[in-house]
Amino acid sequence: MKKNAKIRGINLIYDDLGTGDVIVFIHGQPFNRSMWRDQIVEFSRTHRLLIPDLRGYGDSGITAGIVLLDEIALDVWHLLEELEIKSAVFVGLSMGGQIIFELYRLRPGLFDGMVLADTDARSETSDGYINRINLSQKILTEGMQRFTAQRIHHFMGENTFQTQPATVAHLTEMMTTTNAAGAAAVQRGRAERRDHTPILGSVLKVIEKAGHLPNMEQPEKFNAALREFLGP
């Protein structure tokens, strides 16, 4: 069910579905909470799912200028407090994984576990920093339509583009409807991200025939891996 909460000065829109142990899904950039549709179908039968549109994305409020990843992590933390959720498993993809690292740094007691998909725990390189700052300005001046046309093939595998037109259409819609000011602000924030490699320790799962969005491209395989992680 779509809900709204006033969190740290913005309206934060989120889905709250199912009952039981909590899973929090954190989307990547420049996407929104709809990227988890196939996980909703599978896991809302057995768990309570909390799926926010992050600050600057989807239906949630926008902050211009710069939005650091730890600010977004604070939004998630405050939302959990608002809902009186004491702990959860956190699932994040790409930027979503980097936000989870920040949340763990701030509030490790919230975590029953974490699943990190297609993300990077390292801090930004000097070249990467410059690229993100330049990209943020390009997004503002050229808009999300052009960004999507230039970048969409970075996000899914060629097999997906050839065989899954509905999935590609969903990705295109998410990217083109993202607010340019919100996306630019978070790009600048990502340029400032911390190094979280010291906390890493994990089991690797490879999703075949998928690019950067395995939960959308190969949802059955992704869901099976997540179900295995969650246990009986």
- For the stretch 9-46, pLDDT in tens is 999 999 999 999 999 999 999 999 999 999 999 999 99
**pLDDT confidence of residue 5:** 96
Query: How does strand 22-26 pair with strand 10-17?
Result: unpaired
Predicted confidence band of residue 228 (pLDDT cuts 50, 70, 90)? very high
> From CA 217, how far away is CA 162, in angstroms rounded?
12
Sorted by where each begins, the domain ranges of the chain are 2-230
CATH architecture assignment, domain 2-230: 3-Layer(aba) Sandwich (3.40)
Cβ–Cβ under 8 Å, residues 91 and 24 = yes
pTM: 0.97
